Amino acid sequence: MKSSIQTTAPFSLLTRTLVIMAKAPRPGTVKTRLSGCLPSPAVIELYRCLLEDTVALAKSLTNVEVAVMCRGSDKEELACLLGDAMQIVAQCGEGLAAGLTSVFRHFISARGHQVIAFNSDSPHLPPSVLESAFEILASHDVVVGPTQDGGYYLVGAKASHSTLFENDGLGTSSALDRLLARTKSLQLSTGFTQPFYDIDVADDLVRLAPELQLSPERAPRTAAWFAEWEHAVAKLPESLR
């Protein structure tokens, strides 16, 4: 598939960078909590659509450079998926905590440079929320976007803090609390964007489906995925219908 992503200004000309935390769309490595209720091809294609729509969302912001952080083993595949115009950087170390630490170590190049790490499965987030995150970061050391399950969908900073993500329980319901305990211990002022939800479990898909049916332009690739896998989605849990 040919990428439609356009080249933007060099990093050196910008002071705001949005880094998407991504993985190559492979079985058993992405959206694993959906693997029990959807066919494997559907899960892989869903992640691909979420990622591509997330990149498009990030690219819609003005005066923001966009990049991707991933494991070294995923870099080549993501480059093929997203195109040569996207800067893709291999993280140092394994796991999401190492990836987040790598984001700020790699991209913060000067005092006042604002860097936000953003997940790859919230393309339905209003662009205004990402803009507000940079505005909040201008007057705080750290900005956090809480998810409604106890995690966070973005985190930003203006300096690299090597211990910020230590023992923060990423991927658990205590991730946000542990991050805030760490910012407190480091005496970092912290601001917040509005709580939101990302796509991790079946209930999240059930919640997103009617939203994209009404406004498919918010995440067009993901909306097309729902149309293609309509029968499989219809069999998901009914708790949010």
pLDDT tens readout for residues 86-95:
999 999 998 8
Instruction: Please check whether residue 107 is in contact with residue 40, taking contact to mean a CB–CB distance below 8 angstroms.
Output: no
d(CA 112, CA 162): 18
Residue 10 has pLDDT above 50, yes or no: no
pLDDT at 36 over 90: no
Percentage of the residues of the chain whose pLDDT score is greater than 70? 90
Token readout for 58 is: 């990030």
* Cα–Cα distance, 200 to 149 (Å, whole number): 10
Q: Which residues contact 215 (CB under 8 A, 6 or more apart)?
A: none
Asked if pLDDT for residue 9 goes beyond 50, the answer is: no
Identify the pLDDT of residue 100. 95
Residue with the two structure tokens 């729509």? 53
CA atoms within 13 A on the CB side of 186: 20
What pLDDT score was predicted for residue 167? 66
**The predicted structure's pLDDT at residue 149:** 86
Give dist(CA 111, CA 145) in Å, integer.
23
Q: How many Å from the N-terminal Cα to the C-terminal Cα in the chain? A: 34
SS3 21: strand
Given a contact cutoff of 8 angstroms between Cβ atoms, the answer to whether 112 and 138 are in contact is no
Quick: pLDDT tens for 193-232: 999 999 999 999 999 999 999 999 999 999 999 999 998 8
What is the average per-residue pLDDT within 62-85? 94
Domain positions in the chain are 11-230
pLDDT tens column, 126-143: 999 999 999 999 999 999
* Alpha-carbon gap, residue 142 to 100, rounded angstroms: 13
Residue range 139-195, pLDDT digits in tens: 999 999 999 888 999 999 999 998 999 765 566 678 899 999 999 999 999 999 999
What is the CATH architecture of 11-230?
A: Alpha-Beta Complex (3.90)
Q: Mean pLDDT in the chain?
A: 89
Distance in angstroms (rounded) separating the CA atoms of residues 230 and 209: 9
Q: The sheet that has 190-192: what strands, in order across it?
A: 87-90, 65-70, 16-21, 114-118, 152-157, 142-146, 190-192
Whether pLDDT at 237 is above 80: no
Structure tokens at 50: 């979420």
Q: Three-state SS across 81-119?
A: HHCCCCEEEECCCCCHHHHHHHHHHHHCCCCCCEEEEEC
% helix, strand, coil for the chain, step of 5: 40, 15, 45
Amino acid at 126: P
pLDDT value, residue 168: 57
Q: What pLDDT score was predicted for residue 172?
A: 66
